[in-house]
Amino acid sequence: MTLDPAIAYFYKRPGRMSDSASADDLLEDAPTDIAGIVAYVQNLLLHANWARAYRVQLTSERRDEANTRSLAEMLALIHRYDERPLAATRTPNQRMVGNCRHFSLFGTALLRRAGIPARARAGFGAYFNPGTFEDHWVVEYWSGESWRLLDVQIDATQRAMLRLDFDTTDISRENFVIAGDAWIRCRAGRADPKKFGIFEFRGQWFIANNVVRDFASLNGMEMLPWDFWGAMVNSDDLLTDERRTLLDTLSMMTHDADRNFVELRALYDRDVLLKVADKVFNFEHGRAEPVA
């Protein structure tokens, strides 16, 4: 299987969130192989919800680092904590606090920088809590033959605690369910939407919002997991028939993003409900914020 040159080009160039911009010189020591990239990112980021596993107590100020959107801002924050080259070993306390989306954004950016087509995908991981599908982001990268799913976040500590027995550089589509695939399964009655989400936030509305986030990410805008705009809702009651039909369309497109690439890009550009606005509502902060 070969990748269309236009698609390869699009997913090898940095997007608005994944562009290292003026901080690119900080990445001079970045590796270009999969294992090296994963280790590099894990040395620089700490997942907020996993901090205790590394004996780190986070202040509210440090937790708020997870609201950093762009890679350029992430790099500036990391460098401010420690001015050594980024490949220098850091303790968990010296890492930037983020979440799965930050690991995936960073990994996507480094893969693209290495000339490997890559895109961050929003969906649900089946390997965190048995019987549920937890809100999660991974990287989808082109292996030279096919698209593979890579979890940049899972290190040796998390792997042991979760008792994982599979390769996190080539995750199956059952262990990680793309948001659109979750929507399709639930619409067909093959899965329970209440099993999808995080903490107390679960249901069709949550899946729907991740479909929109995944669609935006495929168009080069990898937003925070709690950013709201346009087509998003916070209740199943707000999912009108018209909105469900739109989500059906998005889910079919994102299921096979390559086959639908031209239509996917065109729909994003023309639909104001789907395109990320200049301002989005940060659910965690409870306010509207400029994207840039």
Confidence band of 94 (pLDDT split at 50, 70, 90): very high
Per-residue pLDDT tens digits for 38-82: 999 999 999 999 999 999 999 999 999 999 999 999 999 999 999
Which two structure tokens, joined as six digits, stand for 82?
A: 């420690």
- How many other C-beta atoms can be found within 10 angstroms of the C-beta atom of residue 174? 9
What is the pLDDT at residue 236? 95
For position 168, what pLDDT does the model report?
97
pTM: 0.97
Alpha-carbon dihedral of residues 71, 73, 74, 77, nearest 10 degrees? 160
Total domains present in the chain: 1
Secondary structure (3-state) at 12: coil
Token output for 55: 């004996």
Write out the residue range of the structural domain in which residue 43 sits.
5-290
1 falls in which pLDDT band (50, 70, 90)? confident
Range 93-98 average pLDDT: 97
* Mean confidence (pLDDT) of the chain: 97
At 85, is the pLDDT very low, low, confident or very high (cuts 50, 70, 90)?
Answer: very high
pLDDT tens-digit map of 223-249: 999 999 999 999 999 999 999 999 999
At residue 22, the pLDDT reads: 86
Residue 117 and residue 181: Cα distance in Å, rounded?
Answer: 22
